[in-house]
Structure 1
């Protein structure tokens, strides 16, 4: 059964409404909205029961939203609802239902700056680029990490962090995460060969693995990739609150034969504690450890300890953020053999022959 929360994208908000009904139960927020509306050139009509009718001149809506965002907090914006007024709706109960089912001011403000994320999802302008993870003992790719990208209408390519930030503001992380996983799988079908595919996912948006991952599982089955070729990589692990829930997700993946990995694992207690609880198949080292200055005995000691720890428990170790030959040699001296970074190749389309040649040359 497909997860509706993950697959349905809400309709876009109007770019330039002419008439808006605003409502908030917080008096001082209502006063602030009225003042900001007047300052932006809107006509304000205070109505009974806390309703505020706003008439919006041409080209005034976006400046008004910008002023709302600059002058209020996220919590305050979430306490206000903006509904596109419908002149045909006059019954008091119907008006109340219209307002209470409307989007919050925070959603409207987010839409004004991040609507491109929704458009990229709906218009299939999300895609994946792939960066090699190289086994330096052979110079060949061990696998590829799929990295999310969006292509804007003007052709500009936007990277994952901006996409995720925009989706978070629009409350579209569920939908984005599903589409990102599908892009990762579909884009790798013709170029992965026998290597492994690392697919990022946000555990906080998967509430029921059986439902939320159904579409991804179907795409993997259709792709012909073997389960043991696919590694699901937890991102934003530092934001995980419900670790028991994450264990259930990882157990679901493992139960289907997939590998699991943790990203950005550092030297702190929280990282080590997370490793002991989750028991991943692979971990990626925090770049601060990888890019330590030559001669930094403390960080070198930490790296060596990580190698010993992961070897003891059968966990694969990947160093990411490797940008030069000197770092390669320093990491190899610590016992690390799987590496990722610009030294081996930038993210791009998955073309096996070209990728293998680039990795060998490095």
Structure 2
């Protein structure tokens, strides 16, 4: 079986059998799309069944750099379509921390390299997963500082899925913390999860680190997350990963507007202009479809 996995890995890399799909990250205050996470998918029949299996195989057979390069290039090529103004959103890219300090990787993310895709480093957020083991924390911290000085942002991914999360957050001082979906799943019915996320929100306020809740799948989870004050959300409730970039559905926008209306996001009598625009968009579409239906 191991030989078949190695052959399948080599085939994927050599023939560039990777495509990028995007999942939106939504501002939970006003319903706007803040950015997209780039996710890699295999485009052929293979013994390798999913992305986790693919990257684990790359680590085992010392092909991680080649795979990361392929996935990154595919992501930037696809993102080029929507990173150009006026649709200048953030692009979240997953990176294994074990190769971030590799000089080849650093050379692969120079401003000159990004310029050919018309992408500014300020639009790139590196996602570092807590699941990966970091063996040389001193070198890793130096590497993180290097990327921050180059105007990249850093996100800790899957926070809550490992056992060294607080140390990693303290060492990295990221711009974003992405809460693992297992913390979000059923949070509306779990007081412990609720308390943990509430604590992270309070931490985010004093540390100036934004929280992204991953894996939101139900209205009740969304409502709980918004009421807790989490800044951003991601998950199937908003949109599944897709190759094409599109707006979130009106029903989803309606949910965000309704929940925020209950929470009363009006401060000193002034409401966010984006919130008003999205509210107007929803009401217009609702009334237009009701009173100006056209026959098929």
Q: Paired residue for 2:107, among 214, 227, 235?
A: 214
SS at match of 1:134: strand
Which of 148, 162, 181 aligns to 2:40? It is 148
Q: Hey, what's the Cα distance between the residues in 2 that align with 1:142 and 1:325?
A: 20
Equivalent positions of 1:1-362 (< 5 A) are: 110-152=2-44, 154=45, 159-192=50-83, 193-209=87-103, 211-217=104-110, 218-266=112-160, 270-351=164-245, 354-357=246-249, 360=253
Compute the TM-score of the two structures, normalised by the length of structure 1.
Answer: 0.64
Contact kept? 1:174, 1:206, Cα under 8 Å: no
Secondary structure of the equivalent of 2:170? helix
Residues 114 and 166, structure 1, Cα contact 8 Å, conserved in 2: yes
Kept after mapping to 2: 8 A contact 1:237/1:262: no
Change (3 A) 1:293 1:237: closer
Which structure carries more relative contact order (alpha carbon 8 Å, separation 6+)?
A: 2
Look up the SS of the partner of 1:212 in the other structure: helix
Q: Are the aligned partners of 1:281 and 1:316 in contact in 2 as well (CA < 8 Å)?
A: yes
Q: Which ranges of structure 1 fall in alignment gaps of 5 or more residues?
A: 1-65, 67-109
1:182 touches 1:219 (CA, 8 Å); kept in 2? no
Cα deviation 1:260-319 (Å, max 9, x = unaligned): 111011287721121111100001012221114433222211111100111111101000
Sort the Cα spacing of 1:267 and 1:307 in 2 relative to 1 into closer, same or farther, 3 A. Answer: farther
- Partner Cα distance (1:286, 1:155) in 2: 28
What are the Cα deviations for residues 14-69 of structure 1, in whole angstroms up to 9, with x where unaligned? xxxxxxxxxxxxxxxxxxxxxxxxxxxxxxxxxxxxxxxxxxxxxxxxxxxx5xxx
User: In 1, distance between residues paired with 2:7 and 2:247?
Assistant: 35
Alignment partner of 2:29: what SS? coil
Task: Please provide the CA RMSD for this pair.
Answer: 2.4
Are 1:151 and 1:157, in contact at CA under 8 Å, matched by a contact in 2? no
Per-residue deviation, residues 86-112 of structure 1 (Å, max 9, x unmatched): xxxxxxxxxxxxxxxxxxxxxxxx333
Which residue number corresponds to residue 44 of structure 1? none
Question: Displaced runs of 4+ in structure 1, greater than 4 A?
Answer: 154-158, 356-359
CA drift of 1:165 comes to: 2.1
The TM-score, its normalising length taken from structure 2, stands at: 0.77
Query: Whole-Å Cα distance in 2 between the matches of residues 293 and 303 of structure 1?
Result: 9
Q: Equivalents in 2 of 1:133, 1:231: separation in Å?
A: 12
Gaps of 5+ in 2: 256-296
Helix, strand or coil at the partner of 1:216:
coil
Q: Secondary structure at the match of 1:189?
A: helix
Instruction: Give the SS at the match of 1:223.
Output: coil
Q: Structure 1: how far apart are the matches of 2:40 and 2:192?
A: 34
Separation in structure 2 between the aligned mates of residue 268 and residue 168 of structure 1, nearest angstrom: 19
Task: Indicate the SS of the match to 1:294.
Answer: helix
Change (3 A) 1:111 1:268: closer
SS at match of 2:82: coil
1:347 aligns to what SS in structure 2? coil
Shift, 1:158, TM fit: 5.1
